[in-house]
Amino acid sequence: MLDKFAKGRYEIASSLLDNINGEEIRILLLQITIEASKKNLKHIDDLDDSNKYDAATLKRLAESLLFRIVFDKGLSKNEKESAALVCAYAYETLCPPLLEETNLNLDSYEFLNRIISSLLYYIAGYDPNAEVITSQLDEILSSITDDESLEVIVIKQLYNFARLKMSQVYIQVKAPYVSNITSFELLEEHCRNACLYNLNDCLNKLSNEFCYVHTVWSEDISSKLNGLSKNSRDCGQETITLLSMLLLLFEELSQARAISILISPSHCDPYIWKRHMKRYIEDGIYLIWPPHKEAIIQGLLDENTNNIIAIPTGTGKSLIAEHKVISYLQRGSVIIYLAPTLALCRQITKNMKKIMDIHDNGKGSSVLIDEEALFSESNLNENEDMILVMTPEKCVSLIANNSELVSKCTLCIIDEFHNIFHGARGALLDLLLSRISQISGASFLIMSALIDDSPKLEHWLKKLNGNHLAITKTKWRPARTLRGFVSHPETEIERAKIEAENSGKNTYRSLLITKLYFCVQDVWAENNQNAYPLELPVKLDVRFKKIKDKRKYNSYYWTVDGYGNDVSRQLGNYLASSNMSVMIFSQGTRHLLNELNKHKKIGIFPQTLTEVTKSYLTLAKEELGFVSELNTGLKDGIGIHTQALINEEQLAVEDFYQKITNGVLCATGTISQGLNLAASVVIVNTTKQYSEQESKSMSKSEVLNMLGRAGRPGFGQQSLGLIVPQYPSTTSENGFTLDSDSTAFLERIDGVEETNSGLLNIIHDIAEKELNEEGIDDDFTLITNVLGFQSQRLRRDLLNKTLATQFLDNTTFDRAFDKWNSWLDSVDKEKKEIILKAAVKSANKASVIEVIIETINQKSVKKLLENEHGESVWLTWFFECISKLDIDFIQKNIHELFTSNEVMIKFLRGWIAGSSILELAIILNQYDIGKLNKLDLSRNNQTSIAKSIKIIREGIRNVSHIATAYISIVDIIVAQEETSSKLPDNLLSISSCLRFGVSSEIAVSLRKLEIPRKISNELSQFIPVNMSVTSFINAWKIKGEINGIAINNDVKRALFIILK
């Protein structure tokens, strides 16, 4: 919570108290958070107690704020929420520890402080924090099974209520029996039971309001709670009075966030809306988070409105997008959902499918656009509602092949919008959004954690389609995050170097005192850098090496060696052993597999794998041809997520990491691109990226996205985002040293990126380049690919609508447009026209099309089209075509590891035949590509296995994309014949066959269900022509048996679990 948003809340809270200001609250709570971090560490008794926070001050702060919250009816909503946030944090810290012998009752501080804190967090809008506090009561309450007293029932109700498990709150009890009152004690007991009975009734009624969809909140609840408050006060039941007043505030302030009474937009069918909200409630989602509510207030659900959602990572952007989608789904409408990676597209498609299963009784579809879907009309029924999920590149191809479908788009959602700011992909996205606005009446929803306050962005979005613009910008985060860096005392570094020099060796290891320095958003004021230290109770092992000083003759000096990896590994392992989930972002990709063994040498965190995780690992074995290293790694609580893994392994890791409460995940930056994985601790071990070819500094957005993964709702009191500098930070009496990159990345917890467009550089280049009318220019063709062949006036209008033009002067724009216009108008030869059209249809570079068109024999193609052929014939034709490609072209446009056409064709044939990774590695090894030791199936960079996976990750995508280009060329050839012929389905499917590594369209459908490639190929032979794949799979599920091929029981069991 130590961010700009929370700081504002502290200022408001301080105004409710005498003699204390917001900065004092912030510093006090920072000290508390650091103390909470210490409590998570081992050997807490060894820590110095002198710097602990002032518990007495904290208690007075908590009680004073609670008094104002509960009794001051004049407080505004903002004041109540602000005070509740600070008060909740204080009461959480004041919670006594739960011991085995703890005896819970309604008045015990062990129970009451947790419930008070939990309810206050809900009142403040910090729902996930509420759940984690009360979850600590789970073990004690689960042991109370034989006590069915009214008080125990109410305690269990409050426990479930505080965890927002509303469907489990309702417990109907009989009214207490009142006997003759013969003593004061008996009167007091009856009064208490009466109050407990009324509290039970209030909890039943209040929880019920969240459990069914309706339009009007019951007024009876607040009156009952007010009555209970008054009566319990009269009866001297102060705890029940306090609880009733907090519940009254909960009802008042959470009601507006209740899913159960979210009003259907006027343009949305109320019945459909109600069914969707019911589904969320059944999934246990009862409240939307504050940014979501703010978005609705600002106009999220309004028709013909563009939306900017600029909120931090992990704050509910996905659910916001879902509600926008639901509000826009109408009969015959199309929604386009753009995401930067295929992995994220798959995740979104699953969520969208849940929406389409309800919408219009399941009529409609959520389609992940791949190569096959671009051309196949069977997947894209233009008469039904559709959600099309795809990367921007695939959307460009879809427009070229089916612009009529895109013209029906009513809403376009762009996730991770900040990708528009950089590079060729950013340029393509900028152009694409202009084109979508031209051919459809779509509204736009753009989402990113890194969008700044640039008026240029707002002006561009209004210009795009003239719609009203609704902006939601907040720095609210559901979990408290401390950001900081690793440092060592300068004297420790100097001591180690002296010891190293005296050792007489060239390398040396030393245990160094290590501190974590935490900073908040405003600490990096000019000339006043402050940070708050926490010394680890263990020392970290740092390596030093002696190297020659090139500046001085015969001189040497000592420096650190492997610092980032070593320190990150030890720190991550240590924090995981302190019951935290740790994610370490590493500098490389393929060396990460080695991290499994290196972490095990430090320590392990035994885990019980879920059935889903085990199933994915079983299927991974089928794909790999050997047992994955992750089988033992995940059981030891150590995982990796990298492009060096196959899909099944990545899915196993993702399922594993979502379930664990402690452990280590070593990952590369790709996992930060929107995948729903978060951590209690994120460690970034360098601010540079390394590949086999080069190293480069990470962009600010990359590091901020990584650090943004710190903050795991419901999984801990606070989260940590830590940078391990490339060279050690040191501390002394004069402060600390920190490199400029790390300083920049830590300067703002709520950091953003400056608005820009990747298209800007391209336009500048075009404006200055010499025009070569005879040549194929990739800058010109990129613009032509996306914007298409239009009239001169429309071309100018489309280019003028891009975000890039917000940063251009008229002279530069006119010069660039004139150059593009002249070049495009010069394309009058038949061959060039085919090249450009094929480039547009397939979203390939024109320079690529120019080469591959020479490998096509049009006569043989026309002859093939005369008769119907299976996929194998068209795949053979494709292989014959690409066998004619020059090796330089292959290495540049397919994959650099292919050393000849022969090895490429053999590899690809093995791939679509379902050969295992090991079998593919054997093919490469036969051509001296990588090393292979069958007794030690290592995946280091030099092995044929690693190189096979590298080709699959990079080259298969490229070859599939080139296959799409071949199909586009054939499509143009057919169109030139002026016949009504359509491309055969078996030709259209070859791109997908190559992408998914199978040999037929039916096998592609099976592979998309995550069935291994070889099994998909074999099963495809047994599916009747008139039976859909879905019906075939359902028949399996009913019979509990997979007929037709021999599958071992482990694989069979894994398939049934995954197919659920």
Residue 79 lies in a domain: yes
706 and 615 share one domain: yes
SS3 740: helix
Dihedral sign, Cα of residue 231, residue 237, residue 240, residue 241: positive
Q: Is residue 371 part of a domain?
A: yes
What would you measure as the largest C-alpha separation in the chain, in angstroms? 109
DSSP class per residue in 237-291: -HHHHHHHHHHHHHHHHHGGGBGGGPPPPTTS-HHHHHHHHHHHHHTT--B--HH
Cβ–Cβ < 8 Å for 369, 398: yes
Q: Are residues 348 and 460 in the same domain?
A: yes
What CATH number is given to the structural domain containing 730?
Answer: 3.40.50.300
Greater pLDDT, 939 or 58: 939
What residues contact 71, with CB distance under 8 A and at least 6 apart?
Answer: 245
The whole-chain average pLDDT of the chain stands at 84
For 362-390, write each residue's pLDDT tens digit: 566 667 676 555 555 555 555 678 899 99
C-alpha 300: how far from its chain's center? 21
Judged against a pLDDT cut of 90, whether residue 616 lies above it is answered with: yes
Residue where a domain terminates, one of 697, 730, 746? 746
Nearest by Cα to 716 from 139, 129, 42: 129
User: Looking at the structure, do residues 439 and 528 belong to the same domain, yes or no?
Assistant: no
What does the alpha-carbon distance between residue 848 and residue 506 come to, in Å, rounded to a whole number?
Answer: 52
3-state DSSP assignment of residue 391: coil
pLDDT at residue 675, rounded to an integer: 63
Entry pTM? 0.84
Residue 689 falls inside a structural domain: yes
pLDDT band at 599 (very low <50, low <70, confident <90, very high): confident
**Strand, helix or coil at 545?**
strand
Same domain, 531 and 673: yes
| Residue 730, helix vs strand vs coil | strand
pLDDT in tens, 899-921: 999 999 999 999 999 999 999 99
Is 595 part of a structural domain of the chain?
A: yes
Whether 51 maps to a domain, the answer reads: yes
Considering the domain architecture, whether residues 429 and 523 belong to the same structural domain is answered as: no
Q: Are residues 734 and 592 in the same domain?
A: yes
Establish if 997 belongs to a structural domain.
no
Q: Do residues 730 and 586 both lie within one domain? A: yes
What does the alpha-carbon distance between residue 827 and residue 997 come to, in Å, rounded to a whole number? 38
Distance (Å, whole) CA 388 – CA 526? 48
Residues 298, 437 share a domain: yes
Supply the pLDDT for residue 30: 58
Contact 959, 894 (CB under 8 A): yes
Burial of 754 (0-12, 13-18, 19+ CB in 10 A): exposed
Domain count, the chain: 3
Under 8 Å between Cβ of 780 and 823: yes
Cα four-point dihedral sign 62, 64, 66, 69: negative
Q: Is residue 110 part of a domain?
A: no
In tens, the pLDDT along 428-438 reads: 999 999 999 99
State the DSSP H helix or E strand holding residue 731, giving kind and residue range, or none if neither. strand 729-732
Residue 777, SS3?
coil
Q: Is 50 exceeded by the pLDDT of residue 217?
A: yes
For tokens 């990676």, what's the residue?
341
Share of the chain above pLDDT 90, in %: 42
Q: How confident is the model at residue 189 (pLDDT cuts 50, 70, 90)?
A: confident
Q: Please report whether residue 1018 resides in a domain.
A: no
Min mean pLDDT across 67-76, 614-623, 684-693, 1025-1034 is at: 684-693
Mean of pLDDT values over 232-241: 91
Cα separation, 502 vs 498, whole angstroms: 6
Which tokens in the block code for residue 729?
């930070």
Token pair of 51 as six digits: 């710097």
Q: Are 453 and 527 found together in one domain?
A: no
What pLDDT is stored for residue 45 in this prediction?
40
Max mean pLDDT range (28-37, 707-716, 984-993): 984-993
Residues 366 and 464 in one domain: yes
Residue pLDDT, tens place only, 159-180: 999 999 999 999 988 888 777 7
Residue 855 has pLDDT above 90, yes or no: yes
Distance of CA 894 to the CA centre of its chain: 29
Out of 55, 75, 94, a domain closes at 94
**720 & 619 share domain:** yes
The token pair at 1059 is 């197919």
Same domain for 659 and 533: yes
CB atoms within 10 A of CB 540: 20
- Residue 734 structural domain: 481-487+517-538+564-746
- Give the model's pLDDT for residue 527: 45
